[in-house]
């Protein structure tokens, strides 16, 4: 990875996230869609991609849920040959085996990779929704995905699989519609969002909204709030990886030349690179809305009359990473304990790895093998 002609950043394992503008199918829901916290869309669309073959009994479907900034492109295919964000986990003979399963992955409601989100045109005003988009919840995301499954004539999933925000969705689907899923995989997620991660995401949103170019979210067709989104992503990257990995990868290595107040250490150049790259791929308002949805997630039933862990009836695989800062492993232990206390069948796997929260994108064998066993068991 190069920052510029004079800065060489040490190579390391990196997730494969790219802007996706083609190669997906689109599900259009032509009727009003009401949101959990109020407001509605007159209609919406979800971008989705599929791999494998749906069985004659239509009983081998696996719904793959994405994290905050991922598209529907989890795996390459003939319509988009670029590697997907879970390229080495989904495919023939892999953890999510497309020789056995029909895999579906959608871009989130509220996203910006083909699904309806703040950057989409509101048919009522013929202008982008911007911050007129309703406050979004994980329940809303999953409710839209259930309508997609209705469209595909899939009454019941073999499995609901996801990591991070995707792990929240996999749990929500089984709590919201327990009759529609046979098993769950939840990686690096939790039963609810805890104060530390809420605080981290709040500061990231503040960075975006403090950029003068954000203009209360109505920046479309004008200058883009690049500086704010860059800082937000730099802060996010701090929570996605871990100090031990960076010590080994960067140490205290500096760039060439005398010290400056700009990018001086190689780890600083790495963060700046990640921030700039993200600004070329993602809509800031989607970032705000989806990160807020993560904050509102709660399946412990402490605040609202809403689905809880108690509704989950199927076996659950919970995976946690020892070095995760964003969703510390004690939160996965807590999730497994809560599910067991209500009589659920749970397998908990804790992995000791240096890559932090991003481990679910990197550790093909360590993460993939428990998933393979759970899906095929």
Beta strands 2-4 and 7-8, pairing class: antiparallel
User: Residue written as tokens 């409601």?
Assistant: 109
Q: What are the tens digits of pLDDT across the range 73-128?
A: 999 999 999 999 999 999 999 999 999 999 999 999 999 999 999 999 999 999 99
Which two structure tokens, joined as six digits, stand for 348?
A: 């908990």
Q: What is the DSSP string of 204-253?
A: HHHHHHHSGGGGGG--TTS---HHHHHHHHHHHHHHHS-HHHHHHHTTT-
Which two structure tokens, joined as six digits, stand for 122?
A: 């509101």
> Whole-angstrom Cα distance, residue 214 to residue 216?
6
Is the pLDDT reported for residue 139 higher than 50? yes
> Whole-angstrom Cα distance, residue 176 to residue 310?
10
Q: Catalytic residues, which ones?
A: 164, 324, 357
pTM for the structure as a whole: 0.93
At residue 9, the pLDDT reads: 56
> Whole-angstrom Cα distance, residue 67 to residue 86?
11
At residue 302, the pLDDT reads: 63
At residue 62, the pLDDT reads: 98
At residue 1, the pLDDT reads: 47
Report how far apart the first and last C-alpha atoms of the chain are (Å, whole number): 40
At residue 250, the pLDDT reads: 87
In the chain, the domains with their CATH numbers are 2-376 (3.40.50.1820)
Angstrom distances, CA of residue 12 to CA of 162, 232, 319, 334, 360: 24, 22, 23, 31, 15
């Amino acid at each position: 990875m190069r920052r510029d002609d004079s800065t060489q950043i040490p190579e390391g394992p990196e997730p494969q996230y790219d802007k996706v503008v083609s190669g997906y199918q689109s599900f259009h829901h032509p009727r009003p869609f009401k949101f959990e916290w109020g407001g509605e869309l007159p209609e919406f669309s979800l971008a989705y991609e599929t791999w494998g073959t749906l069985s004659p009994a239509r009983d081998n479907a696996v719904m793959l849920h994405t994290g905050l900034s991922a598209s529907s492109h989890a795996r390459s295919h003939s319509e988009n040959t670029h590697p997907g964000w879970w390229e080495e986990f989904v495919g023939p003979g892999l953890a999510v085996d497309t020789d056995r399963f029909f895999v579906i992955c959608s871009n989130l409601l509220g996203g910006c990779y083909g699904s309806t989100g703040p950057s989409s045109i509101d048919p009522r005003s013929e202008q982008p929704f911007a911050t007129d988009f309703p406050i979004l919840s994980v329940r809303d995301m999953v409710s839209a995905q259930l309508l997609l499954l209705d469209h595909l004539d899939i009454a019941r999933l073999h499995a609901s699989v996801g990591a991070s925000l995707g792990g929240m969705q996999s749990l929500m689907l089984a709590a919201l519609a327990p009759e529609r899923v046979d098993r769950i995989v939840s990686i690096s997620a939790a039963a609810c969002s805890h104060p530390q991660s809420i605080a981290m995401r709040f500061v990231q949103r503040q960075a975006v909204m403090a950029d003068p170019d954000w203009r209360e979210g109505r920046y479309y067709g004008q200058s883009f709030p690049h500086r704010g989104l860059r800082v937000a992503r730099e802060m996010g990257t701090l929570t996605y990886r871990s100090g031990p990995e960076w010590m080994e990868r960067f140490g205290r290595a500096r760039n060439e030349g005398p010290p400056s107040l700009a990018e001086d250490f190689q780890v600083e150049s790495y963060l700046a690179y990640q921030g700039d790259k993200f600004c070329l791929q993602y809509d800031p308002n989607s970032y705000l809305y989806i990160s807020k949805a993560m904050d509102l997630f709660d399946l412990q039933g402490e605040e609202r009359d809403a689905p809880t862990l108690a509704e989950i009836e199927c076996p659950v695989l919970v995976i946690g990473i020892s070095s995760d800062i964003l969703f510390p492993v004690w939160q996965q232990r807590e999730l497994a304990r809560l599910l067991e206390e209500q009589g659920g069948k749970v397998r908990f796997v804790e992995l000791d790895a240096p890559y932090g929260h991003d481990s679910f994108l990197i550790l093909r064998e360590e993460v993939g093998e428990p998933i393979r066993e759970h899906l095929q068991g």
